[in-house]
Amino acid sequence: MRPDPRSSNILLPHRAVLNARHMPSYAYGSRSPIWWGTVGFAVAEGMGFALAVGMYFYLVFVNGNWPLSSPPPDLLWSSLFTLVLLVSIWPNQRAKRDGEHEDLVRTRRNLVIMSLIGIALLVIRVFEFGTLHVRWDQNAYGSVVWLLLGLHTLHLLTDLGDTIVLAVLMFTRHGHGKRFSDVSDNAFYWYFVIATWPPLYIILYWFPRWW
Amino acid sequence: MTRAITSHDLDAVPEITRLVTGERGGLPGVESEADSPPSPDELRDDQVDGPELTARLARTWGTEKGIIGALSTVDHKVIGRRFIATAIIFLFLGGLSAVVMRMQLALPENSLIGPDLYNQLFTMHGTTMMFLFGVPIGEAFAVYLVPLMVGTRNIAFPRLNAFSYYVYLFGGLMIWIAFMLNIGPDVGWFAYVPLSGPEFSPGKRADFWAQMITFTEVSGIAVAVSIITTVFKLRAPGMTLDRIPLFVWAELVNAFAIIFALPAVVTASATLMMDRLVGTHFYNPAEGGDALLFQHLFWFFGHPEVYIIFLPATGWVSAIVVTFSRRQAFGYIALVLSLIAVGFLSFGLWVHHMFTTGLPQLGASFFTASSMLIAIPNGIQIFCWIATLWDGRPVIRTPLLFIFGFFFIFVAGGLSGIMLASVPLDTQVHDTFFVVAHFHYVLIGGNVFPLMAAVYYWFPKFTGRMMSERLGRWHFGLAFIGFNATFFPMHITGLMGMPRRVYTYLPEMGWGTLNLVTSIGAALFFASFVLFLYNIVASARRGPLAGPNPWDAGTLEWAAASPPMPQNFDRIPVVTNREPLWANRSSLPVVAGLSVENREQIVPTITHGRADLRETSPEPSIWPFMAAIAATILFVGSMFTPWALVWGSVPLAVTLIGWFWPKPSTEDEK
């Protein structure tokens, strides 16, 4: 061992080999720590979706007949929801791009549009719940259907809340600089909400018709 | 002829292009605010030096005095210290509940405590040890040490980190207050249905268990995300993937395991609560539900959880073995790959907890094979550590003694684990004390002994003072003897047929002597913890001053003061070696040019660790604490009425908005 370093309480002297003075103060996408945080939560929540879907098919497997004693849920509102959700890819992509171009006027417009789309989707979702033809406390099929739809609604709600707060923020004096990176990450999370839906739509609305 | 590369060349600071990206922040062709030059009025660390720099940075990164300041802090060291202390207090509470159980079981037909309290005690013991100690302790050490070890100033998402701590604290308090009020859960730490369902557990006891899961798992996942992002995006320049300290690798793999495993137990406990409160039928066979589904969900989390408890411990072992062997880790790559392999394989074993539930034979064989398979990467790790010690010049101090204890106990537990992986043997001893003996050898050997080593090892960093070596040796001796006296006889009582979770037994069974030995052992083991506590308290007050690097270790946390200043490092180090402090004995290569007045950190690229951005880190805020209170109101309220999810979300939303809304004082608002 070297001489006992305890004899001195002094830290090692520094030798500067780099200067960070002119490095950028934020960036977009995977260069930014926030993006990784968003991915991390999306993975954990995606795991939650996967497990709930696993529960669904486990119950299909142990029961054999499906959807137990209920008629399959209606297609009208759910298909409309799917359509609006898929269409929202376009304004969402614009929100992401204009945010990355740090275009304040367009970003404000895009965030308002995305908030309105979120509210519209929420309204459709209420009707969707009304045409499931099963209650959560009727049988295990009803329970798991409400679980899956509820889980997706929860994500819809949180992203909508996030989008509205960000929209308001961009109309204040805080709407510049790093906030544009937040706009980009918010759009990224919306893609997660979109991506989780088509499998659920097929499982909830089409699978019981095919089984 | 080319010249052979010497170790000196490897430690030299590489050319600038390998350390920075030199890229703009904005997209090509975009005039981005990210690339605007820094304000000339702002003081930077290439303009000041020495004690003035230290003092100014300490002011910028410090925690304010007073209760509001203490609850607003986002310093990973302050939160990490609270996390560690809280987890160790829960370890003591869990231990105390075990001591009471051992007093009851010391004699046959003992009447110290009745069956109802006994049921609550073993549930509280398991729940506390697994959810309030086992999982959080690994993350707690990561919260404190990972930012220091990767050479940065704060954890990624420091407010989320503070929020996670308070949520964890409130969840733990909730279940222990419930227990004090005689409404503690009494359905075992895995709360199987139908016992925990609405029919057989009316009242609120099982709900407290299920909701405690929500608290701890929200906290666990959030910390895991912060740790992953810290390791990926806040490493010191030059810290390439193969220079990440093994402890950090272990915590990284652990964080991934947490992200994939914890959602399963949240799903299990949330659906259990729905069955109990709003009349769903997930686990009710009469309405198309299935009781075994709960076991699948629980163990899909539960088995990785064993490794979530063990993986951080491998990190402690690696750090300590390397330092006290006086050489770099033998088989660094093999160790990292073993960690990753364990992380993956841990998700393929869960059904071996369910061998007696009547599975298809093919399923049983598959899970037997995978259970044996995981012994391979674990074995590789053990051999690498032994090789490191063998080839080094080991310095035997208390931390290393506990590591030796870990080798012995963990390997013994692993051997009984291989026995249990075999279905016929498992069927025979299922739910007996043999299983209790096995998992205590694995968990105490695999986590608590390394934890003791870690506390002795990093205590000087946490407090600036050394723990008593003499008391440490007594502690180790008492703990090792006490542990084995407690748990070794359980193998035999289990083979003799004594089931677990019984509050008493008849004298004719012939289990009396062994149980008495076990109980005496438990008293010894408990005494070792009392000694440990005394050593902590006494050393924190009067221990000899440690200095920055008392063990002459090589990783970056030892380049900071003991205890570290709020800014950790006056300048961010540049890493040229796996053990940076062994490679740079006379001076530390650093990055200059960061702000002294604002909280700036370096953000690198993930694999090559090239410096890319200088990003600001969030300021202290009271809102994470308020949000944790709002979340607690929501969670506790929803145990009584589902409408709490509606009205409880209002204060939560308000606090979250307060949290995310920029403060006028931060740099980018000036």
Q: How far is A79 from chain B (nearest CA, A)?
A: 26
Is B323 a domain residue? yes
Domain region containing B350: 70-542
Q: What average pLDDT does the structure give for chain B?
A: 94
Least reliable range by pLDDT among B14-23, B118-127, B284-293: B14-23
Is B11 a domain residue? no
The rounded distance, in Å, linking the Cα atoms of A87 and A114 is 11
Residues of B in contact with A169 (CB under 8 A): 661-662
Report the pLDDT value the prediction gives residue B666, as an integer from 0 to 100. 54
Is A14 a domain residue? no
DSSP B184-241: ---S-TT--TTTTSTTT--SSHHHHHHHHHHHHHHHHHHHHHHHHHHHHHSPPTT--G
Report the pLDDT value the prediction gives residue B670, as an integer from 0 to 100. 43
The rounded distance, in Å, linking the Cα atoms of B224 and B258 is 7
Are A25 and B25 an interchain contact pair (Cβ–Cβ within 8 Å)?
A: yes
Q: Taking each helix axis from N to C terminus, what angle separates B649-660 and A140-170, rounded to the nearest 10 degrees?
A: 40
Is B208 a domain residue? yes
Is A38 a domain residue? yes
Are B30 and A142 an interchain contact pair (Cβ–Cβ within 8 Å)?
A: no
- CATH number of the domain within which A40 lies: 1.20.120.80
Domain region containing A43: 33-210
The complex scores an ipTM of 0.94
Q: pLDDT tier at B51 (50, 70, 90 boundaries)? A: very high
Query: Rounded mean pLDDT of B606-630?
Result: 95
The rounded distance, in Å, linking the Cα atoms of B303 and B190 is 12
Q: pLDDT tier at B8 (50, 70, 90 boundaries)? A: low
Q: Which residue of B16, B296, B615 is in closest CB contact with A25?
A: B615
Q: How far is B78 from chain A (nearest CA, A)?
A: 22
B interface test, pick of A18, A43, A136, A144 with most B CB neighbours within 10 Å: A18
The rounded distance, in Å, linking the Cα atoms of B431 and B420 is 12
Q: Which residue of A16, A18, A59 is in closest CB contact with B237?
A: A18
Q: Which residue of A5, A24, A40 is in closest CB contact with B229?
A: A40
The rounded distance, in Å, linking the Cα atoms of B543 and B232 is 37
Domain count along chain B: 1
Is A128 a domain residue? yes
Report the pLDDT value the prediction gives residue A168, as an integer from 0 to 100. 96
B350: Cβ contacts below 8 Å, ≥ 6 apart: B296, B299, B300, B302, B303, B304, B367
Is B347 a domain residue? yes
Report the pLDDT value the prediction gives residue B98, as an integer from 0 to 100. 97
pLDDT tens figures, B394-438: 999 999 999 999 999 999 999 998 899 888 899 999 999 999 999
B151: which 2 tokens?
């050479």
Are B280 and A174 an interchain contact pair (Cβ–Cβ within 8 Å)?
A: no
Residues of A in contact with B581 (CB under 8 A): 12
Q: How far is A86 from chain B (nearest CA, A)?
A: 27
Are A25 and B262 an interchain contact pair (Cβ–Cβ within 8 Å)?
A: no
SS3 content of chain A, % helix, strand, coil (to 5): 70, 5, 25
Report the pLDDT value the prediction gives residue B6, as an integer from 0 to 100. 53
Query: Rounded mean pLDDT of B32-45?
Result: 91
B573: Cβ contacts below 8 Å, ≥ 6 apart: B151, B236, B556, B559, B580, B588, B589, B590, B591
Is A5 a domain residue? no
Is A175 a domain residue? yes
Q: Which residue of A6, A146, A147 is in closest CB contact with B547?
A: A6
Residues of A in contact with B233 (CB under 8 A): 32-33, 36
Is A192 a domain residue? yes
Report the pLDDT value the prediction gives residue B71, as an integer from 0 to 100. 97
Residue of A nearest to B657 (CA): A165
Q: Which residue of B16, B27, B284 is in closest CB contact with A28?
A: B27
Report the pLDDT value the prediction gives residue A6, as an integer from 0 to 100. 44
Helices (H) and strands (E) in chain A, counts: 7, 1
B interface test, pick of A2, A9, A21, A23 with most B CB neighbours within 10 Å: A23
Residue of B nearest to A35 (CA): B229
Are A31 and B603 an interchain contact pair (Cβ–Cβ within 8 Å)?
A: yes
Q: Dihedral of CA B55/B60/B61/B66: which sign? A: positive
Are A33 and B287 an interchain contact pair (Cβ–Cβ within 8 Å)?
A: no
Domain count along chain A: 1
pLDDT tens figures, B195-242: 999 999 999 999 999 999 999 999 999 999 999 999 999 999 999 999
Is A28 a domain residue? no
User: How much is the pTM?
Assistant: 0.95
Share of chain B above pLDDT 90, in %: 88
Touching A: B residues 67-96, CB under 8 Å: none
Touching A: B residues 525-544, CB under 8 Å: 544
Is A8 a domain residue? no
Residue A93: phi and psi, rounded to 5, are -65, -40
Are B552 and A55 an interchain contact pair (Cβ–Cβ within 8 Å)?
A: no
Are A45 and B615 an interchain contact pair (Cβ–Cβ within 8 Å)?
A: no
- CATH number of the domain within which B229 lies: 1.20.210.10
Per-residue pLDDT tens listing for chain A (211 residues): 444 444 456 789 999 999 999 999 999 999 999 999 999 999 999 999 999 999 999 999 999 999 998 999 999 999 999 999 999 999 999 999 999 999 999 999 999 999 999 999 999 999 999 999 999 999 999 999 999 999 999 999 999 999 999 999 999 999 999 999 999 999 999 999 999 999 999 999 999 999 8
Report the pLDDT value the prediction gives residue B7, as an integer from 0 to 100. 53
